Amino acid sequence: MGRLVLVRRDQVLQGGQPLAFLIGIFSALLIGILLLAVSGHDALAVYERMFDASIGSSKAWSLTLNRAVPLGLAGLAVAVAGRMGLWNIGAEGQILAGAMMAAWVARIGESWPSPLLITVMLLAAVLGGALLGLGPAVARAQIGVNEIITTLMLNEVALRMLQWLIHGPWKDPESRGFPLAPILPEGARLPGLFQQAHWGAVIALLVIILFGLVASRTAWGYELRVAGSSGATALYAGISLKRKILTVLVLSGGIAGLAGGIELSGSSDRIVEGISGGYGFAGIIVAALALMRPSGVAAVALLFGAVQVGGLSIQTMGVSSSVSTILQALILFGAIGAGVFSRYSVKRVSKENQEVQ
């Protein structure tokens, strides 16, 4: 008898990454056929709908892009902290904080020229997210409080705050009792790009590219890598760990806040309870699957967005939302999980040869 183990390849398999990606998706779809057959659906028709709805037309692409934007920014927010070994689980709340700040600017700046209003809204959104990240950042840097707990708990704080606003001071008098904020003024809406897509996609892409460059090319990014690799080495090199933790967690919050501002100004037309849409938590998955790399974040977010749009579209065919969610998970897992095999190979180890160490 033996057991299977993953052994790191000496060299990454040439062309392995795209091949693994295709094989992964293909196997996921194969397993999906079983799933759909069991739940009584025509798998091919379902797949065709998924494909059409997510990447089959320019309209489909625009919907996918609109989802990829908050996913990508939330993923980047988590990755920024993750590169230093910190976990920002609070992107969900930071998105809400960003959206609230942007909405507040839209209320007071209704009469401003649109480009100015949108710019200030997005800056306010960054500030909102950053402020929510500040508390955990200070607590972690100064006295070592675990940021996972604090950022997670602040999600709830931001959500309650938003609920209070839409049930109280910001409640739209014309909403017939529903807890909704008023619809944004026209000047506060991000201009369109094509079909449903808006300029948020361009902003998100620029932010991701900018961070990618900063992380890989600047002295600051280098210090971040050193600190992420070993805290003791960072101290030895004269890098202040406290300051790095502080900036990284605040920056992470700011990026998530920007996602909230863009979501409000681009996709949603008002503050509603579900405006964060779970993007903050999905961002953790995006960042993890992207191995904390900015370029990976963009690609994973796009795939994630497409799978979400496709998954939603098949629910109109009568596929239940749970089956659709399982299918989405399968595809994501297959597409990205299979990448492991370009870096590792599977070997069988017999019991006798196991070296205990």
Q: Of 111 and 353, which CB lies nearer to other proteins in the complex structure? A: 353
- For residue 18, give the amino acid letter: P
Q: Of 160 and 217, which CB lies nearer to other proteins in the complex structure? A: 217
Q: CA-to-CA distance for 129 and 51, rounded, in angstroms? A: 35
What does the block give as tokens for 104? 């507040």
Residues 6+ apart with CB under 8 A from 163: 179, 273
Q: Of 10 and 174, which CB lies nearer to other proteins in the complex structure? A: 10
Residue pair 279/259 in contact by the 8 Å Cβ criterion: yes
Q: CA-to-CA distance for 16 and 212, rounded, in angstroms? A: 24
Least CB distance to other proteins at residue 98 (A):
26
Q: Which residues bind other proteins (CB under 8 A)?
A: 217-220, 222, 225-226, 228-230, 232-238, 356-357
Phi-psi region for residue 59, left (φ > 0), alpha (ψ -120 to 50) or beta?
A: alpha
Residues 6+ apart with CB under 8 A from 157: 93
Residue pair 131/253 in contact by the 8 Å Cβ criterion: yes
Q: Of 233 and 315, which CB lies nearer to other proteins in the complex structure? A: 233
Collapsing DSSP to helix, strand or coil, 181 comes out as coil
Burial of 195 (0-12, 13-18, 19+ CB in 10 A): middle
Q: Of 146 and 233, which CB lies nearer to other proteins in the complex structure? A: 233
Least CB distance to other proteins at residue 228 (A):
8
Least CB distance to other proteins at residue 216 (A):
9
Q: CA-to-CA distance for 238 and 225, rounded, in angstroms? A: 14
Least CB distance to other proteins at residue 18 (A):
22
Tell which residue, 70, 75, 120, has the closest CA to residue 95.
70
Tell which residue, 137, 127, 67, has the closest CA to residue 97.
127
Q: Of 5 and 237, which CB lies nearer to other proteins in the complex structure? A: 237
What does the angle CA 117 – CA 206 – CA 65 come to, to the nearest 5 degrees?
Answer: 85
Q: Of 23 and 214, which CB lies nearer to other proteins in the complex structure? A: 214
Least CB distance to other proteins at residue 244 (A):
14
Identify the H or E element spanning 226: helix 219-229
Burial of 7 (0-12, 13-18, 19+ CB in 10 A): exposed
Least CB distance to other proteins at residue 297 (A):
19
Least CB distance to other proteins at residue 243 (A):
12
Q: Of 194 and 236, which CB lies nearer to other proteins in the complex structure? A: 236
Least CB distance to other proteins at residue 210 (A):
12
